[in-house]
Structure 1
Amino acid sequence: MPRRILIGEIAGQVDCRISRPGYDAALDDVNDRKKISFAASRPSYGQVAAAGFITGVNTWHVFEQAFGNIPVVMFTIKRGGSQLTGEVSRYTRPYAGPAMYRDGTPYVVVVEQGRMMITMPNDWQLAEHPLPAGDAFNFFCVTS
């Protein structure tokens, strides 16, 4: 049975590897991205620069650092005991931020260089769709 996740000494160096289904994290070629999806020893295309969760709408969440450009933000919504993901598409709302994403819920995320906010495409929807108690948006920002 293949080892999917391996942390420790591999081929004389400390590494963390995650293989794709059917491949072995210790035995398959670390440079073949079709077999090994992640290896800490391999050069990365980006890094997670900020992560967290947001539990309310229309309130700015300030990042610990301001980014030179608007960061790419990936997120899921926690609803009950489930993590929901969906397509990410751009929305525009002229008086809000320059970058907005929607995840298949009625919510959008406004992302600026130093902060982000969960809101709705328009103000009248805020009253009709509050974020249910216990729900949260989990996010992480990726930078190069």
Structure 2
Amino acid sequence: MIQEAGLDGFWLDRLLNREEWIKSHVVDAASVAVSRRHRRAKTDRLDGEVLVRTLMAWNRGEPRVCSMVRVPAPEDEDRRRIGRERKALVAERVVHVDRIKGLLFSQGIRDYEQLRRDRRARLDELRTGDSRVLPSRMKA
């Protein structure tokens, strides 16, 4: 059995390795060779076929066909989870901040910093580029 590294691949590997008759491998998806000459379709069926061919080559003794990864212990994954969640939340905040800046810029407002503590009070003071009060729906 072969699966790509990641949260799903790791718990599946742990589950399958409980059974003595199933040998499970987790592969680094970026290490699997793909043709770079032309664009290829990306479907689960095609990805599954590539993984099966990769596993067969690995079992034949071709070590450079891919990189197998060590499955981390559940405790190690749990330790990394807070960092992953923070990284995702920071990225999400950047998207929201950029969206707000874009909406305000469309009204001619360039100097509003939405991460400051006094942002709500400053929101009431904002004026559009042509000196109008910020529209209520935009403010909401």
TM range (shorter): under 0.3
More helix by percentage:
2
More strand by percentage:
1
Q: Which has the higher contact order (CA 8 A, sep 6+)?
A: 1
What TM-score, normalized to structure 2? 0.20
What TM-score, normalized to structure 1? 0.19
